Copies of this chain bind each other. A is one copy, B any other.
Amino acid sequence: MSGRAERGLPADYIPPLASVDPACFGIAVALVDNRVFTAGNAEQAFSIQSISKLFTLTLALGMLGDSLWRRVGREPSGDAFNSIVLLEYERGIPRNPFLNAGSLVVADALLSSARAPRETIGEILRFLRFVAEDDGIAIDPVVAQAEKATGYRNAALANYLSSFGNLTNHPEHVLGVYVHHCAIAMSCRQLAMAGRFLAARGRNPATGHSVVSEERTRRVNALMMTCGHYDGSGDFAFRTGLPSKSGVGGGILAIVPAVASIAVWSPGLNAQGNSLLGIEALDILSRRMCWSVF
């Protein structure tokens, strides 16, 4: 189990991600009874990339409530994560908040509340440190810089959204927020800890503090199930029966409602840009533990 065929290849369009050792594999399981199990490279920080969209969405829903849904849909797209086609057909309303275009709208909403890009990024970081109970979480400046330099596709999406009036801030500023939250680095342990509130009906199971309402937690989990893996979402739901969100850094956060928050990481990706071994691991774990929600 060492060849490229079995593990996939790391994302190559963001140079620092391409140089990560494809042999890495880590997993952390945070149970709602506060036990945490880890294995492999579970303490090594990796770029969470699109998994961050889950936390910016939660934050934006907390600030704006359901008015956010006037600017972004809740339907799976059947298209690649960075497709611009549907935006034209749907007049600038992204299909869901986990597509790059949808997440740019979420970043714009956060930016409108926090006033400036720096403050917005700070707020996102504070939220992640709060839910993970870990002040060591930080942005990887090399990754942020690399994405900014090569992110023409995201710049196209942001400008396109602006042309339909669906960004209220300058595209450059929105892209600044987006690129930085995607460049947040976390270990499997940190990520599993950060996801606990989604497994525990919106509360931190250690402290009992409410992060979001129980109903909103259910809804975010539903979005993860239908849209969390781009055009591989249906297949992942079919195989594991778990709501989850993937990132091109090779991480996946999966939620077992009322039971556990699970983070896996392996940098090799499949054709849809999701961690090949990560999916495999979650498939086996979900079957052995009977953790499918279905």
Q: Which residues of A contact B (CB under 8 A)?
A: 73-79, 83-89, 95-96, 152-153, 155-160, 162-163, 171, 215, 217-219, 221-223, 225-227, 231-235, 237-239, 241, 243, 255, 257, 287, 292-294
9 shortest interchain CB distances as A-B pairs = A221-B294, A152-B163, A76-B76, A75-B234, A156-B160, A156-B159, A155-B159, A152-B162, A293-B293
What CA separation (Å) do A116 and B45 show in the bound complex? 43
Nearest B residue to A257 via CB reads B294
What CA separation (Å) do A287 and B216 show in the bound complex? 12
With beta carbons under 8 angstroms apart, the residue of B76, B218, B293 that contacts A226 is: B76
What CA separation (Å) do A78 and B29 show in the bound complex? 33
B75 in contact with A235 (CB, 8 Å)? yes
What CA separation (Å) do A239 and B75 show in the bound complex? 12
Give 26 A-B contacts (CB < 8 Å), ordered by A residue.
A74-B235, A76-B226, A76-B233, A84-B85, A85-B89, A152-B162, A152-B163, A153-B163, A155-B171, A156-B160, A156-B162, A215-B287, A217-B294, A218-B294, A222-B238, A222-B294, A223-B234, A225-B237, A225-B294, A226-B226, A226-B237, A227-B234, A243-B294, A255-B294, A257-B293, A257-B294
Contacts of A76 in B (CB 8 A): 75-76, 78, 226, 233-234
Contacts of A237 in B (CB 8 A): 222-223, 225-226
List 14 other contacts, CB 8 Å, given A152-B171, A223-B237.
A75-B232, A75-B233, A75-B235, A83-B88, A84-B88, A84-B156, A96-B234, A152-B160, A155-B155, A156-B156, A156-B158, A225-B294, A226-B238, A243-B294
What CA separation (Å) do A173 and B8 show in the bound complex? 38
What CA separation (Å) do A226 and B294 show in the bound complex? 12
Contacts of A243 in B (CB 8 A): 294
What CA separation (Å) do A287 and B222 show in the bound complex? 14
Contacts of A292 in B (CB 8 A): 218, 222
Contacts of A225 in B (CB 8 A): 225-226, 237, 294
Contacts of A152 in B (CB 8 A): 159-160, 162-163, 171
What CA separation (Å) do A57 and B238 show in the bound complex? 14
Nearest B residue to A292 via CB reads B218
What CA separation (Å) do A90 and B162 show in the bound complex? 24
What CA separation (Å) do A88 and B86 show in the bound complex? 11
B160 in contact with A84 (CB, 8 Å)? yes
With beta carbons under 8 angstroms apart, the residue of B78, B159, B171 that contacts A78 is: B78
